[in-house]
Chain A
Amino acid sequence: MLKVENLGVRYGAVAAVRDLSLSVGQGELVALLGPNGAGKSSTINALTGLVAPSAGRIVLDGQDISRVRTEDRIRAGLTSTPEGRRIFANLTVGENLRLGAATRRDPKGVRQDMERFLALFPVLSERYAQAAGTLSGGEQQMLAIARSLMSRPKLLLLDEPSLGLAPKIVVRIFDFIGQLKAEGLTLLVVEQNARQALRFADRVYVMSSGVLRFDGPPSGLADEHGLLNLYIGG
């Protein structure tokens, strides 16, 4: 579904990502792991088009989208839940969800999806008319994911869904991610928290200092001597 070939991202003289190639197949959950500063977020931003890649190609469903604008990538079915959640704090929970569905033209389907997520996350339903900024971190993460799903993406990029959350909540978020996978959604999850990310991953990429260091099944990661400790620190 998604194919990235020899991607490079530079900020001025600094190369954040070098020669990165990866792919995500239909219905797969792929984890992209790596320590802080490895270039994971730069990769995601290049995939969504918020930063322009300096080299390489990004192919979605056989179409080269490297030069396509962010908005049109989202419309083509690639959606991302950004790092740090980035919910619209000054809008209500309901308004956040509505904006998630901004590209859709089927009001009925939108309403159904909205009801589904509100049933799934009762707390969002309770706080429906409150400013999203009043939600707790975990609730905001649920809202951010639900908001992304409102556009009915084919491929969802999740950037550090565990960031700054309590361990118990992280487990719940990943339970939900596993459920999304079971429903057939294709996902690319970027994480520092390897243990959680590996629970449902079909395949794993590990990167550090902007370069891909490992590519294979989660079991392979355990085999490679000390790789987990080396790059992820647990």
Chain B
Amino acid sequence: MDYALQQLLNALAFGAEYSLVALGLAVVFSIMGLVNFAHGEIIGVSAYSVFLAAALGLTSPIVAVLLAIAAAALAAIAFERVAFRPVRYAPTTTGLLTAFGVSIVVQNLFMLLISPKPQSVSILNGLNQMWFFGPFAVSSLQVMELIVSGLTILALVLFLNRSTLGLAIRAASRDFATVRLMGIRANRVIATAFAVSGALAGIAAVFIMARRGSVSPDLGFSLVLKAFVACVIGGFGSLPGAAVGGMLLGFIEVGLLVVLPQEYGGFKDALTYVIIVALLVYRPEGLLGQRVELGDKEI
């Protein structure tokens, strides 16, 4: 029973983290069709900012958390200004390759300017403790991941449904030209979407640092690959799809860890991807995606 609960919590915590990152990807993709491979490097910038601040004498974990989120949001906005704006109206493949390029540049800059080796960051270690509820021992980090992710998603939903800019983001996901006809500035809508996407990545960065206690140049890369996969199973560009896809991915991974014998543990990632690709054979448009007929999307 204890074991089952523990695994359930594991799955939920992993799933929550994937959902956060996948949502960040989906927000940007839904309005500008950009497959943002550099999302992982937004997480990276966030983590290295905390690392540098700690090296310069920052000790407050709360400030570190705020810094992580702010740095990620700013990095996202900066990436858009510098790299993605020139290809804003280009075909999807062009944007995708640009983002891939940005990802390579930033990862290698971390290597070049800081170090190719992982660097220790202990400022957020306090988040990762064992909490005891009667007979149960649970990781505080996992509980927090679950709660914070839930609250973040709630805040995102409120933002998208209540604020004018949030409405504009939802509207822009279908018809950007008409949003501009409302007098809403395209640059502001896009910058907001990137900031939101970055903030979500920043929250994920906090959890990653608290768990690993270190930062490395490829910190966000593999996580973002998984988040992409979550987006694809959920239905690319669908926000609920991204959240559901992330959770499902968490459950598949933990399920495999439980089922696989120890010596085959290394095949977890491979099998996860195999399962997902198999899912796509039956639902190419993803779980919550709509089967988009060619030409449906208005320009």
Contacts and interface: CB of A to CB of B under 8 A. Distances in A.
Check A-B contact in the complex, CB < 8 A: yes
Contact of A74 (B171, B173, B182, B298): B182
Nearest to B179: A99
Contacts, number: 65
B178 interface: yes
Nearest to B184: A102
A74 B177 CA distance: 12
A151 B167 CA distance: 16
Interface in B164-209: 164, 167-168, 170-171, 173-175, 177-186
A100 B178 CA distance: 10
A48 interface: yes
Given A98-B164, A99-B164, A79 B171 contact: no
Given A88-B171, A90-B170, A99-B171, A71 B180 contact: yes
A91 interface: yes
Contact of B168 (A79, A99, A151): A99
A169 interface: no
A70 interface: yes
A86 B178 contact: yes
Interface string A62-87: 00000001110011000110100010
A71 B185 contact: yes
A120 interface: no
A102 B183 contact: yes
Contacts of A79: 181, 183
**Chain B interface SS verdict (over half):** helix
B298 A90 contact: no
Interface residues of B, number: 19
B52 to A, nearest CB: 38
Choose among A88, A90, A151 the residue with the greatest number of B CB atoms under 10 Å from its CB.
A88
Given A102-B184, A151-B183, A90 B178 contact: no
B184 A103 contact: yes
A82 B179 CA distance: 11
A160 B178 CA distance: 15
A50 interface: yes
Contacts of B164: 98-99, 102
Nearest to A70: B180
B167 A82 contact: no
Contact of B182 (A50, A69, A89, A99): A99
B175 A86 contact: yes
A139 interface: no
A95 interface: yes
B182 A100 contact: yes
Given A88-B171, A95-B167, A103-B182, 13 more contacts: A50-B180, A70-B180, A70-B181, A71-B180, A71-B186, A74-B180, A74-B182, A82-B177, A88-B174, A91-B171, A95-B170, A99-B164, A151-B183
9 A-B pairs with the lowest CB-CB distances in the bound complex, closest first: A74-B183, A103-B183, A88-B171, A86-B178, A70-B180, A71-B185, A102-B184, A75-B183, A99-B182
21 contacts: A50-B180, A50-B181, A70-B180, A71-B183, A74-B181, A74-B183, A79-B181, A80-B181, A82-B178, A82-B181, A86-B175, A91-B167, A91-B171, A95-B170, A99-B164, A99-B167, A99-B182, A99-B184, A102-B168, A147-B182, A151-B183
